Structure 1
Amino acid sequence: MTLDKPRQVLEMVNGIYYAHGLRKIAPYYHSRTSFAKGRWLGRQLLEVLSDELKALSSEQYSLGIQRQEFQIVRNACALSVPETFTAKIENKDIIKTISHKHEPPVRQWCSDESDTEAGKKIGGFEIVHECSDLLVLNKPSGIPIHPTGRYYKNSMVEVLKNQGTDAYPTHRLDKITSGVLIMAKNPYMANKIQGQIRQRTMQKTYLARVEGCFPKVQDSHALGKGCLPSATEACADENKATVEDSEIYTIELKKQFPAAFSVARNATTKFYPVRYYAASNQTLVACQPITGRTHQIRIHLARMGHPIVNDPFYNKKNTKFPRRLQFMLDVYNWNIGSISSERLESYFKDFLRESNSFHDGEPSSIREECKECGINLYPDPQLHDLQLYLHAWKYRDSTGDLDYETSLPIWALDHNLELQAAMKE
Structure 2
Amino acid sequence: MAGGRPCLLFGVACPALCIPSTPPVVVTNWRSLRYVAPYLFTYRVNVKERWLGTTLTDVFTKEFYGTREFWANQMKHGRLLVNGASIAADYVLQPADTILNTVHFHEAPVSATDVPRVIDEQPDWVAVYKPAGIPTHVSGQFRYHSLTAWLSRLLSEHHQRTAPALYTLYRLDRVTSGVVVFAKNVELARRWHQHASGGNRSVPRHRKVYLARLQGRFREALTCRVPLRLDRGEQGYARSFPDFQSGKASITLFKPLGYDTRTDTSLVECVPVTGRTHQIRAHAAFLGHPVANDALYGGTLAADEYTTVVADAIAGMLGTGESRSSAEPTLMQLFPDLQVADPLCHHCPYAAPVRWREDPLYRQLGIWLHALSYRYDDDDNAPTARFSWHAQTEWPSWAQNCALETDLA
Q: CA deviation at 1:397?
A: 2.7
CA distance in 1, matches of 2:42, 2:88: 17
- For the Cα contact (< 8 Å) 1:205–1:392, is it kept in 2? yes
Q: Corresponding residue for 2:180? A: 181
CA distance in 1, matches of 2:180, 2:122: 14
Structure 1 counterpart of 2:298, from 293, 307, 315: 315
CA distance in 1, matches of 2:293, 2:104: 33
**35-44 or 262-271, which moves further after superposition?**
35-44
Change over 3 Å in CA distance of 1:86–1:299 after alignment to 2: closer
Q: Which amino acid aligns with 1:182?
A: V
CA distance in 2, matches of 1:151, 1:71: 24
Q: Which amino acid aligns with 2:77?
A: R
Structure 2 counterpart of 1:46, from 42, 48, 57: 57
TM-score (norm 2): 0.67
Change over 3 Å in CA distance of 1:410–1:38 after alignment to 2: closer
Q: How does 1:140-289 map to 2 (within 5 A)?
A: 140-163=131-154, 164=156, 165=163, 166-199=165-198, 201-216=205-220, 241-254=221-234, 264-289=247-272
- For the Cα contact (< 8 Å) 2:126–2:182, is it kept in 1? yes
Structure 2 counterpart of 1:304, from 283, 287, 305: 287
- For the Cα contact (< 8 Å) 1:273–1:286, is it kept in 2? yes
Q: Which amino acid aligns with 2:177?
A: S
Q: Corresponding residue for 1:127? A: 118
Q: Corresponding residue for 2:401? A: 414
Q: Which amino acid aligns with 1:107?
A: S
List gaps (5 residues or longer) in structure 2: 1-23, 157-162, 199-203, 304-322, 331-340, 348-353, 380-387
Q: Corresponding residue for 1:341? A: none
Change over 3 Å in CA distance of 1:399–1:92 after alignment to 2: closer
CA distance in 1, matches of 2:140, 2:363: 21
Q: How does 1:375-386 map to 2 (within 5 A)?
A: 375-376=346-347, 377=354, 378-379=356-357, 385-386=364-365
CA distance in 1, matches of 2:185, 2:378: 21
Q: CA deviation at 1:281?
A: 3.6
Q: CA deviation at 1:86?
A: 6.7
Change over 3 Å in CA distance of 1:281–1:84 after alignment to 2: closer
Q: Corresponding residue for 1:391? A: 370
Q: CA deviation at 1:289?
A: 1.2
- For the Cα contact (< 8 Å) 2:259–2:267, is it kept in 1? yes
Name the SS of the counterpart of 2:143 in structure 1.
coil
Show CA shifts across 1:189-232 (max 9, x none): 3333233223274221111122333223xxxxxxxxxxxxxxxx
- For the Cα contact (< 8 Å) 2:82–2:100, is it kept in 1? yes
Q: Corresponding residue for 1:353? A: none
Q: Which amino acid aligns with 1:406?
A: T
CA distance in 1, matches of 2:94, 2:77: 22
How many residue pairs get aligned? The number is: 318
Change over 3 Å in CA distance of 1:36–1:278 after alignment to 2: closer
1:101 aligns with 2:105: yes
CA distance in 2, matches of 1:136, 1:215: 33
CA distance in 2, matches of 1:188, 1:366: 52
Show CA shifts across 1:28-77 (max 9, x none): 110121233455556653354345x243233222111101111122xxxx
Show CA shifts across 1:106-127 (max 9, x none): 12245xxxxxxxxxxxxx5332
List gaps (5 residues or longer) in structure 1: 1-12, 111-123, 217-240, 321-362, 420-425
Q: CA deviation at 1:176?
A: 1.3
CA distance in 1, matches of 2:267, 2:299: 19
Name the SS of the counterpart of 1:249 in structure 2.
strand
Q: Is the helix fraction higher in 1 or 2? A: 1
Change over 3 Å in CA distance of 1:188–1:84 after alignment to 2: farther
Q: Which amino acid aligns with 1:245?
A: R
| Higher alpha-carbon Rg | 1
Q: Which amino acid aligns with 2:234?
A: K
Q: Corresponding residue for 2:70? A: 60
Larger RCO (CA under 8 A, 6+ residues apart): 2
CA distance in 1, matches of 2:197, 2:111: 30
RMSD: 3.6
Q: How does 1:329-340 map to 2 (within 5 A)?
A: none
